[in-house]
Amino acid sequence: MISNLQVVLVEPAGPLNVGSVARVMKNLGFSSLVLVNPRCDPQGPEARQMAVHAADLLDQIQVVTSLPAALSASQRVIGTTGRSDPLPVPPQSPELGLGWLVELDAGKTSLVFGPEDRGLSRDELAYCQRFVTIPTSSAYTSLNLAQAVAICCYELQRLSQNSVQISAAVEQLPGQLPQHVPEQQQAEIAALEDYFAELQTTLLKIGYLYPHTVRSRMAKFRALLNRAHPTATEVTMLRGILRQLDWALSHPTELGDCSREPREE
């Protein structure tokens, strides 16, 4: 299950941190590291000095130019945050929140960390479906990036082992425990982003959104759909509705023609 998980670092500035992250990931069985617009050399001598025997993870780093690109194939995304302002979904501790990423039917998942100097912004957190906050002392709340990754990776590895043990128990006692029934495949983030782009265009066209309300209104739509965890088929259906609405707006004289069959999606 943890082989399907990628650790995403947004604009990391310290090569020593990147190397330390690679080392702790390898210690705990993780291998996929994605960097969004790194502000350092993630494969240079300083990073390799800290990675020690995890240099192979540095060699395999995927570098992308945007957070949506990093998350495009993911089906579940958790963002880490220390923000105190309200979020669409209340953040949980790693122990309570991270198990969602290692469930048997989770598919490809991502755990996102922000830059060392500011953490994830509200715009960046909007791409995440759930959030975790590492409890710290009020005397000093800011954690080093590599330390935060270490805490979360340890918790993920522990939770993954527990999931495997529970699954084994279910298989051994089919008459006493319900068999696990996988959910339908959840929509990938790329499909959701395409839907949000179409939704925004349509809502602006019909006057439900105005340029000055786009950001706040779309954040609410994102929160709604992220709570629902729609499947790929459901997102296709929603996009079909938008396309049919767009057709109707372009052909107002044909709206009364009930014999017209809707287009298949």
User: CB–CB of 222/214 below 8 Å?
Assistant: no
**Average pLDDT, stretch 181-202?**
79
Confidence of residue 173 (pLDDT cuts 50, 70, 90): very low
| DSSP type of residue 182 | P
- The number of distinct structural domains making up the chain is 2
Report the pLDDT value the prediction gives residue 110, as an integer from 0 to 100: 96
Domain boundary among 171, 198, 228: 171
The answer to whether position 142 is within a domain reads yes
Is 52 a residue whose pLDDT tops 60?
yes
Q: How far apart are the first and last CA of the chain?
A: 32
Is 22 a residue whose pLDDT tops 70?
yes
Report the pLDDT value the prediction gives residue 23, as an integer from 0 to 100: 97
The answer to whether position 238 is within a domain reads yes
Question: 52: alpha, beta or left, given left = phi > 0 and alpha = psi -120 to 50?
Answer: left
The answer to whether position 81 is within a domain reads yes
Angle at 4 between CA 95 and CA 161, to 5 degrees: 45
| Lowest-confidence region among 40-44, 62-66, 175-179 | 175-179
Is 47 a residue whose pLDDT tops 90?
yes
Confidence of residue 262 (pLDDT cuts 50, 70, 90): low
Mean pLDDT of the chain: 85
| Torsions phi, psi for 119 (to 5 deg) | 75, -170
Report the pLDDT value the prediction gives residue 161, as an integer from 0 to 100: 85
Tell me whether residue 100 is exposed, middle or buried, using C-beta atoms within 10 angstroms of its C-beta: 0 to 12, 13 to 18, 19 or more.
middle
Q: Report the CATH number that the domain containing residue 224 is assigned in CATH.
A: 1.10.8.590
pLDDT digits (tens, 9 = 90+) for 104-154: 777 899 999 999 999 999 999 999 999 999 999 888 888 999 999 999 999
Is 197 a residue whose pLDDT tops 50?
yes
**Average pLDDT, stretch 17-23?**
97
Do 16 and 56 belong together in one domain? yes
The answer to whether position 180 is within a domain reads no
The parent domain of residue 130 ranges over 2-171
Between 190 and 59, whose confidence is greater? 59
Report the pLDDT value the prediction gives residue 86, as an integer from 0 to 100: 85
User: CB–CB of 72/190 below 8 Å?
Assistant: yes
Where are the extended beta strands (E) located within the chain?
Answer: 5-10, 32-36, 62-64, 76-80, 109-113, 130-132
Do 125 and 196 belong together in one domain? no
Please count the residues of the chain: 265
Tell me whether residue 250 is exposed, middle or buried, using C-beta atoms within 10 angstroms of its C-beta: 0 to 12, 13 to 18, 19 or more.
exposed
The answer to whether position 183 is within a domain reads no
C-alpha 17/C-alpha 143 separation (Å) is 12
pLDDT digits (tens, 9 = 90+) for 67-111: 999 999 999 999 999 988 888 889 999 999 999 998 877 789 999
Is 219 a residue whose pLDDT tops 90?
no
The dihedral sign for the CA sequence 259, 260, 262, 264: positive
C-alpha 225/C-alpha 198 separation (Å) is 14
C-alpha 252/C-alpha 231 separation (Å) is 32
Do 249 and 133 belong together in one domain? no
Q: Report the CATH number that the domain containing residue 69 is assigned in CATH.
A: 3.40.1280.10
C-alpha 146/C-alpha 52 separation (Å) is 14
Is 35 a residue whose pLDDT tops 90?
yes
Task: Provide CB contacts within 8 A for 10, sequence distance 6+.
Answer: 36, 37, 67, 112, 113, 114, 115, 120, 124
Report the pLDDT value the prediction gives residue 56, as an integer from 0 to 100: 96
| Torsions phi, psi for 183 (to 5 deg) | -75, 165
pLDDT digits (tens, 9 = 90+) for 23-33: 999 999 999 99
Confidence of residue 170 (pLDDT cuts 50, 70, 90): very low
